[in-house]
Amino acid sequence: MTPLLEVQNLTMRFGGLTAVDRLNFKVEKGNIHGLIGPNGAGKTTTFNMVSGFYKPSQGRVLLNGQDISGLPMHEVANRGVVRTFQHSTLFGELSVLDNALIGTHMTFRPNLLKAILGLDSSARRDALDRARTSLEFFGLADVEHEMAGDLSHGHQRALGMAVAYASRPDLILLDEPFTGMNPEETRRMMGLMRRLCAEGTTILLVEHDMQAIMGLCDNITCMSFGKFLAEGSPAEIRNHPDVIEAYLGGARHVA
């Protein structure tokens, strides 16, 4: 069976620096797949290439076997791959509800003429329902009228995911979703991700919180200095000598 996502020889060079170097991995449909590595390993850069934010210097990104490398980000999103950002990236000046509404953009495409003539009320209602469901899913229902920029850090992370979830993607790329969350919030969020996965969304997860990664992922790819290092189940990765070496040599330790 073709995997949902496959990257082949994915490479990104910034001038002289090779941030990602001939990376290969596959994400199976229905899995929670972890992408780990020490700081600066190239995880975010990989996300940026998969999501279309960067054009790979070399290599390919295949979605359901189709080449999507180099497509602009909105085109990739329209093919069902939606991402969140490492640093909370929200519409800070808009309300929480409006943030989620933007997430419904692809399903309920705004139509200028219908909007002027008032013929889009049912689409607007459905979009509102969808946005509220997404907020509820991430426990944000009672802050929907607050400005996104005024939310606590944990809530902001959750809202980032709610915006992504509002488009009902096939594959969701989460870049360090647990940073800034307290242990209680992290635990709750892990439960939500399992539910998301059970609903049929495939998740590709970058995270430094090893307990969360080990507890959630079906499969983990580890990279270091842009290169593929190891792949396997959480148990295999935890005991992999190269992985331990990479983390001990790097800034952080495997928890």
Partner 1 sequence: MRNFVIWVALAIALIVLPNLVSFSQQEVLVFLTINILVVASYRLLTLTGEWSLGHVVIMGVGAYASALVTKELGLWVPLGIIVGGLASALIALALSVPLFRMKGFYFLIGSFAAGEIIRLLWKRFRDPFGGAKGIKGIDPMPDFSIGIYQFDFFEPVSYFYFSAVVVALCLWILWRIEKSPVGLTFHAVHWQDKLAQASGVNLRRYRTMAFVIASGFAGIAGALLAHYIGTINPNSFDVEVMVFVLTWAIVGGTGTFYGPILGCVVLTILNEIVLRELGLEQTRPLIYGLILILSILFMPNGLESIVQKVTRRKDAK
Interface residues toward partner 1, by CB under 8 A: 51, 53, 72-74, 77-78, 82-85, 89-94, 98, 101-103, 105-106, 108, 110-112, 115-116, 118, 120, 123-124, 127, 163-164, 167
Residues near ligand ATP, by CB under 6 A: 14, 17, 19, 37, 39-45, 86
Q: Does 44 bind Mg ion (CB under 5 A)?
A: yes
DSSP string, 10-41: EEEEETTEEEEEEEEEEE-TT-EEEEE-STTS
Residue pointed to by tokens 């949902």: 4
The whole-angstrom separation of Cα 12 and Cα 64 is 22
Residue 78 binding target from partner 1, Mg ion, ligand ATP, none, CB below 5 to 8 Å by type: partner 1
The whole-angstrom separation of Cα 192 and Cα 185 is 11
Residue 179 binding target from ligand ATP, Mg ion, partner 1, none, CB below 5 to 8 Å by type: none
Q: Which is nearer to ligand ATP, 46 or 99 (CB)?
A: 46
DSSP 250: S
Residue 164 binding target from Mg ion, ligand ATP, partner 1, none, CB below 5 to 8 Å by type: partner 1
User: What is the gyration radius of the CA atoms in the chain, in angstroms?
Assistant: 19
Residue 22 binding target from Mg ion, ligand ATP, partner 1, none, CB below 5 to 8 Å by type: none
| Distance in Å, CB of 179 to ligand ATP, minimum | 9
8 DSSP β-pair partners: 60
Q: Which is nearer to partner 1, 119 or 248 (CB)?
A: 119
Q: Which is nearer to partner 1, 19 or 163 (CB)?
A: 163
Three-state SS annotation for 71-91: CCHHHHHHCCEEECCCCCCCC
28, exposed or middle or buried, with CB in 10 Å at 0-12, 13-18, 19+?
A: middle
Q: Applying CB under 5 A, which residues contact Mg ion? A: 44, 86
